Amino acid sequence: MEQISNENGLTLFSQTKFKKIEKDSGIKFPELFKNKRFDFLIVKGNRALNVEVNYFDWGGSKQEILNSYIDRQTKLKTIGRLCSNNRRASLE
């Protein structure tokens, strides 16, 4: 992901909190996400793509994880500049 980001003029952040990215980039996130961590966030200008990764080779509730992602996607869509889903999305 790092190589692809660099080759395309994107900034890649990983395993940090939304509030740090808000401070560093100026992109505003909903208050309820500021203390949440993400796996990856790809940024270009004032747009961001949240990428979450899960490997289902361990026990636990896969449905709970799925519900958590759906909830995050729904809430992140409220700010308009952020795309969070499992389909290809353009940052242009």
Range of 72's domain?
A: 2-83
Name the region of 15 (left: φ>0; alpha: ψ -120 to 50; beta: rest).
left
Tell whether 88 is covered by a domain.
Answer: no
37 is a domain residue: yes
List, for residues 63-81, the tens digit of each pLDDT value.
Answer: 666 667 677 777 767 655 4
* Assigned domain for 62 exists: yes
Number of domains in the chain: 1
Average pLDDT, the chain: 75
- Amino acid occupying residue 66: L
**Residue 52 above 70 pLDDT?**
yes
* Whole-model pTM over 0.85: no
Give me the pLDDT at residue 46, please. 82
Residue 11 inside a domain? The answer is yes
Q: Quick check: is 90 in a domain?
A: no
Q: Is the pLDDT of residue 83 over 60?
A: no
Q: What is the pLDDT of residue 68?
A: 72
92 within domain boundaries: no
